[in-house]
């Protein structure tokens, strides 16, 4: 396991806060109220460990295959439905949405390999990520990857806690399947828009792993 580069600053700040709070606690509280000093230590240590865990990047055997669409994120499948895409395709698409809790790995990966033909950031609201309106009203970054059999759109969507979406892809870039696409901080969701006749391999409420679980078969 490694730590994602997006976490270096957050972890450093949290570590400094942890050190300062506990130094003050030891100096002013530990002799008169040792139990309170220990409680403060355990709470702040838990926060530090959570922040480190949030930015973890586990070692995985990544899934690749020309006939496969791979899950772009860790989390739980919360939506599988037909929608009308107003942003890019302007027609019916099959939407599969994955909700990421703060406990999930938040690195996002390319579901297919191909060429990036669209990349657009949208300002928006911070509705809870499982709200259906979050797909179109929340802050988000949309990317379309063209692969040999067509195009798919992937949306990184901010949630009530997610305040920063990072996307590393640019138009014209050639990308590999399951390689890193971006990162979202502190709870969010990723939507994948597929052709309506795509065979989906996941079910509602299924727990999936980014870069590993097969989302659909071409």
Judgement on whether residues 116 and 164 belong to the same structural domain of the protein: yes
How many distinct structural domains can be found in the chain? 2
On whether residue 62 sits in a domain, the answer given is: no
Residue-level pLDDT at 95: 96
Domain range holding 141? 68-217
Q: What is the pLDDT of residues 149-203, one digit of tens each?
A: 899 999 999 876 656 789 999 999 999 999 999 998 876 889 999 999 999 999 9
> What DSSP line would sit under the chain, residue for residue?
-EE-GGGHHHHHHHHHHHHHHHHHHHHHTTTT-HHHHHHHHHHHHHHHHHHHHHTEE--------TTEEE-SSSEEEEEEEEEE-TTTT-SEEEEEEEEE-TTS--EEE-SS-EEEEEEEEE--B---TTSTTHHHHB-EEEEEEEETTEEEEEEEEE-SS--EEEE---TT-EE-TTSEEEEEESSEEEEEEE-TT-EE---TT-EE-TTTSEEEE-
Judgement on whether residues 43 and 131 belong to the same structural domain of the protein: no
Active site residues: 188
Judgement on whether residues 50 and 76 belong to the same structural domain of the protein: no
On whether residue 106 sits in a domain, the answer given is: yes
Judgement on whether residues 115 and 194 belong to the same structural domain of the protein: yes
Per-residue pLDDT of the chain (218 residues; tens, 9 = 90+): 899 998 899 999 999 999 999 999 998 898 889 999 999 999 999 999 999 998 999 999 999 998 999 999 999 999 999 999 999 999 999 999 999 988 899 999 999 999 999 999 988 666 665 565 566 667 889 999 999 889 999 999 987 665 678 999 999 999 999 999 999 887 688 999 999 999 999 999 999 999 999 999 98
On whether residue 126 sits in a domain, the answer given is: yes
Judgement on whether residues 51 and 121 belong to the same structural domain of the protein: no
Judgement on whether residues 129 and 202 belong to the same structural domain of the protein: yes
Judgement on whether residues 129 and 43 belong to the same structural domain of the protein: no
């Amino acid at each position: 396991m490694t730590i994602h580069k997006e976490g270096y600053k957050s972890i450093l700040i949290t570590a400094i806060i942890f050190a300062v709070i506990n130094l003050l606690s030891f100096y002013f509280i530990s002799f008169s109220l040792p139990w309170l000093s220990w409680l403060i230590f355990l709470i702040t240590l838990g926060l530090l460990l959570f922040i480190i865990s949030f930015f973890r990047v586990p070692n995985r055997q990544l899934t690749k295959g020309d006939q496969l669409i791979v899950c772009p994120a860790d989390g739980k499948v919360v939506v599988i439905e037909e929608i009308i895409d107003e942003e890019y395709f302007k027609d019916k698409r099959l939407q599969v949405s994955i909700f990421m809790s703060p406990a999930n790995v938040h690195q996002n990966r390319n579901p297919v390999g191909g060429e990036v033909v669209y990349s657009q950031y949208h300002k928006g609201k911070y509705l809870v990520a499982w709200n259906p309106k979050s797909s179109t009203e929340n802050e988000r970054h949309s990317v379309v990857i063209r692969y040999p059999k067509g195009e798919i759109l992937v949306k990184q969507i901010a949630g009530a806690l997610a305040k920063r979406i990072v996307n590393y892809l640019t138009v014209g870039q050639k990308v590999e399947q399951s390689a890193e696409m971006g990162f979202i901080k502190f709870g969010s969701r990723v939507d994948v828009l597929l052709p309506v006749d795509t065979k989906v391999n996941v079910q509602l409420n299924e727990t999936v792993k980014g870069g590993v679980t097969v989302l659909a078969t071409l």
